[in-house]
Amino acid sequence: MGDARMTGAELDRLRSFRVLAEELHFTRAAARLHLTQPALSQQIRALERQLGTELVRRDARGCTLTEVGRLVAAEAGRALAEVDGAAARIRAAVGGRDGRLRLAYTRSARGGRVDALVARFRVLHPLVEVVPETAWTAPNVAGLLSGRFDAAFVRPPIDEPSLVCRHVDSEELLLAVPEKHRLATHRRIHRADILGEPAVMWPRENAAGMYDRTIAQVWPDGGFHLVRHEPDDEQLLRAVAEGAAIAAVPAGRARALKVPGVRLRRFAAPTPTVDIALAYPRDTTNPAVHRLAALVR
The whole-number pLDDT of residue 3 equals 47
The whole-number pLDDT of residue 79 equals 85
- The answer to whether 8-94 and 168-274 have equal CATH topology is no
pLDDT over 60 at 23, yes or no: yes
Q: How confident is the model at residue 95 (pLDDT cuts 50, 70, 90)?
A: low
Judge if pTM exceeds 0.95. Answer: no
**The domain defined by 168-274 carries CATH number 3.40.50.300:** no
CATH number for the domain formed by residue range(s) 100-164+276-296: 3.40.190.10
C-alpha 189/C-alpha 282 separation (Å) is 41
Work out the average pLDDT over 7-33.
89
**DSSP single-letter state for residue 239:** H
Q: How does pLDDT run across 171-215, given as a tens digit for each residue?
A: 999 999 999 999 999 999 999 999 999 999 999 999 999 999 999
**DSSP single-letter state for residue 3:** -
Architecture of domain 8-94: Orthogonal Bundle (1.10)
C-alpha 276/C-alpha 172 separation (Å) is 11
| pLDDT: which is higher, 6 or 251 | 251
C-alpha 155/C-alpha 162 separation (Å) is 16
The whole-number pLDDT of residue 2 equals 44
Q: How does pLDDT run across 260-287, given as a tens digit for each residue?
A: 999 999 999 999 999 999 999 999 999 9
C-alpha 260/C-alpha 41 separation (Å) is 83
Domain ranges of the chain: 8-94, 100-164+276-296, 168-274
Q: How confident is the model at residue 127 (pLDDT cuts 50, 70, 90)?
A: confident
- Give residues with Cβ within 8 angstroms of 227, minimum separation 6: 198, 199, 200, 244, 245
C-alpha 1/C-alpha 75 separation (Å) is 6
The whole-number pLDDT of residue 5 equals 62
pLDDT over 70 at 251, yes or no: yes
**How much of the chain exceeds pLDDT 90, in percent?**
69
